[in-house]
Amino acid sequence: MADRRLQVFHTVARLLSFTKAADTLHMTQPAVTFQVKQLEEQFNTRLFDRTHNRISLTEAGMVVYDYSERIISLYGEMSNRVGEMTGDLRGHLFIGASTTIAEYMLPRVLGDFKMKYPDVQVRMYVGNTDKIVHMIEDNSIDLGLVEGLVTNKSLATLKCCMDSMIVIAHPDHVLGTHESVTPQELLDYPFVSREEGSGTREVTMEYLNQVGVDANDLNITMELGSPEAVKGAVEGGLGVAVVSEATVLKELALGTLLARPLDPPLARPYSFVYQKQKFRSLVMDEFLEFAKDRCSRDMLSVPVRREV
């Protein structure tokens, strides 16, 4: 953008935090403060009130913020129109992905997208579904890709592909004699769960409740913050777990885990999420189409190996 100061000010004003703005813009906090101070000197007025470690917009700051919203939006539209005319795709895209998607699906997609569009700069943030949705809500990122439910009506969702969920256990576990696992049978064994706010946990609990099993009756012995941690606990014989089939292909091939389908089956959507009212750049539209096509093909080609 021609005036970096305006972009920095807009980010600080949106987040009402110099620290968060610095993290979002990948700048140091002193650099952010300097950019805002320059803008204040240009207008010869304070744009923020600073009291008790909190900031708020002054009356002049609110006027500048309103205009900066429109200027940034117009700049994006201008870039889109020129890009459509020249066929030149460039710019920045800020993406957030829930942990499972970020670790097992997105790296290949981003690699292929970068090869096709080398002038697009992509930054990815990782967290559980709740965190990614919050980042979309406060405009910290342009686009999220999550596996959990999104209830905020101001956000738009677009299904990317379906993900099969399965039960995993230690290779010597008694479930090895079963063809499949019913929801009721999950209550019979120690259960290794993802943390609160995880899309995997939310989908699993909703599934149990829908089939008439009280999720509160699960014998949850561990709550862990990543798929890798859950797999490690199950490999150590600490319980069973429900995970995405795509996350355990290596372990099934090596025989360090066994997997069984749920009966009835459980599948969840991977969904894009973004602000309904926010201007969608050409870069974002192109990535949406590219990722949706690539993810669907990848999920359809996942080899299924459940016997060990």
Q: Give CA–CA dist 248/108, Å, rounded.
A: 17
pLDDT band at 77 (very low <50, low <70, confident <90, very high): confident
Residue 171 lies in a domain: yes
Q: Which amino acid is present at 175? A: L
pLDDT at 69 over 90: no
pLDDT band at 305 (very low <50, low <70, confident <90, very high): very low
Final residue of a structural domain among 83, 109, 133: 83
pLDDT digits (tens, 9 = 90+) for 119-147: 888 989 998 888 999 989 888 888 999 98
Residue 298 lies in a domain: no
Containing structural domain, residue 153: 86-159+268-293
Final residue of a structural domain among 59, 83, 107: 83
Q: Rounded to two decimals, what is the model's pTM? A: 0.70
Q: Are residues 288 and 155 in the same domain?
A: yes
pLDDT band at 1 (very low <50, low <70, confident <90, very high): very low
| CATH for 42 | 1.10.10.10
Q: Are residues 40 and 181 in the same domain?
A: no
Rounded to an integer, the average pLDDT of 77-104 is 82
Give the pLDDT confidence score for residue 140 in this predicted structure: 82
pLDDT digits (tens, 9 = 90+) for 196-239: 988 899 999 999 999 999 999 999 999 999 999 999 999 999 99
Residue 248 lies in a domain: yes
Q: Are residues 242 and 173 in the same domain?
A: yes
Q: Are residues 26 and 147 in the same domain?
A: no
pLDDT band at 49 (very low <50, low <70, confident <90, very high): very high
Q: Are residues 272 and 131 in the same domain?
A: yes
Residue 220 lies in a domain: yes
Full DSSP string of 137-196: HTTS-SEEEESS----TTEEEEEEEEEEEEEEE-TTSGGGG-SSB-TGGGGGSEEEEEPT
How does the average pLDDT of the chain come out, rounded?
88
Q: Are residues 256 and 277 in the same domain?
A: no
Q: Give CA–CA dist 146/271, Å, rounded.
A: 5
Final residue of a structural domain among 56, 83, 110: 83
Give the pLDDT confidence score for residue 73 in this predicted structure: 79
Q: Give CA–CA dist 88/75, Å, rounded.
A: 16
Q: Are residues 142 and 283 in the same domain?
A: yes
pLDDT band at 296 (very low <50, low <70, confident <90, very high): low
Rounded to an integer, the average pLDDT of 12-39 is 91
pLDDT digits (tens, 9 = 90+) for 250-275: 999 999 999 999 999 999 988 999 98
Q: Are residues 95 and 120 in the same domain?
A: yes
| CATH for 216 | 3.40.190.10
* Strands laid side by side in the 143-146 sheet: 120-127, 91-98, 143-146, 258-275, 155-169, 241-244
Give the pLDDT confidence score for residue 100 in this predicted structure: 86
pLDDT at 301 over 50: no
The total domain count for the chain is 3
Give the pLDDT confidence score for residue 302 in this predicted structure: 44
pLDDT band at 32 (very low <50, low <70, confident <90, very high): very high
Give me the percent of the chain exceeding a pLDDT of 90. 56
Q: Are residues 113 and 199 in the same domain?
A: no
Q: Are residues 282 and 144 in the same domain?
A: yes
Residue 303 lies in a domain: no
Q: Give CA–CA dist 13/32, Å, rounded.
A: 12
Classify strands 143-146 and 91-98 as parallel, antiparallel or unpaired: parallel
Residue 77 lies in a domain: yes
Q: Are residues 231 and 104 in the same domain?
A: no
Q: Which amino acid is present at 297? A: R
Give the pLDDT confidence score for residue 2 in this predicted structure: 47
pLDDT at 152 over 70: yes
Q: Are residues 18 and 32 in the same domain?
A: yes
Residue 304 lies in a domain: no
